[in-house]
A and B are shown apart, each in its own frame.
Chain A
Amino acid sequence: QVQLQQWGAGLLRPSETLSLTCAVYGGSFNGYYYSWIRQPPGKGLEWIGEINHSGSTTYNPSLKSRVTMSADTSKNQFSLKLNSVTAADTAVYYCARGQILHSVWGQGTLVTVSS
């Protein structure tokens, strides 16, 4: 059964770079798209973007100028970087498998941006 495990720093200062990684266990890494989705406290889900195993990406235009996603097929991992964070970026960040439908999710990482 495919599982996603994610990790990264949970507390950032304003203007720092958010960095999260998600590893795929128990299934093929290639042939799938992977997405990052976030959820601010008490709010709805926001799609950040997606990447496939070969590195093809699509980002949410609202975040595109600050987002970079990458994939490492040798480690079955993909990563998210979001630069110049502000308090508005405080959220639980999820990785998920799938381009249009997300049937497997990571456990979520709470990232808090505070001075």
Chain B
Amino acid sequence: DIVLTQSPDSLTLSLGERATISCKSSQSLLYSINNKNYLAWYQQRPGQPPRLLIYWASTRESGVPDRFSGSGSGTDFTLTINTLQAEDVAVYSCQQYFITPRTFGQGTKVEIK
């Protein structure tokens, strides 16, 4: 199985600050035929199901604010939340869909100071 390791496990920032979350994969998620990275990011607010934020490592899902951005390739990926808002308090998880079984990172909890 592909193992996704996120860091940090938790993050406490002030409103308006930038949050940066790392996701490292145990193997490359870049498919050379189409040059796409098979990685997604999800947001899970307390008591709610996950919400798809980013796919193909950097494509924002429809309706996702542009303060959320994804970057990276191969085995190293980053989710950035610019200008942190109160509603961004959540757990953020990366997911690989390169091969089955599809696997998720352990999650990063983002809180406000």
Which of A11-19, A23-31, A77-85, A99-107 lies at the binding interface? A99-107
**A-chain residues with CB within 8 Å of residue B55 when the two chains form the complex:** 101
A62, A101, A106: which contacts B49 (Cβ < 8 A)? A106
Note all chain B residues with C-beta closer than 8 A to A44: 93, 104-107
Size range of the chain B interface in the assembly: 20 to 34
A70 at the interface (CB under 8 A from B): no
A62 and B103 CA atoms in complex are apart in Å by 12
Secondary structure call for the A interface = loop
A101-B52, A101-B55, A108-B49 known; A47 and B103 CB under 8 Å? yes
Q: Label chain B's interface by main secondary structure.
A: loop
Say whether B52 contacts A102, CB under 8 Å: yes
A96 to B52 Cα, complex, angstroms: 11
| B38 interface residue (CB < 8 Å to A) | yes
Stretch at the interface among B14-22, B65-73, B94-102: B94-102
The 9 closest A-B pairs by CB, nearest first: A105-B49, A100-B97, A45-B104, A60-B101, A47-B102, A44-B106, A103-B52, A44-B107, A101-B55
Could you name 17 residue pairs across A and B whose Cβ atoms are closer than 8 Å? A43-B106, A44-B93, A44-B104, A44-B106, A45-B104, A45-B107, A47-B103, A47-B104, A58-B100, A60-B100, A60-B101, A96-B49, A100-B102, A101-B55, A102-B42, A103-B52, A105-B50
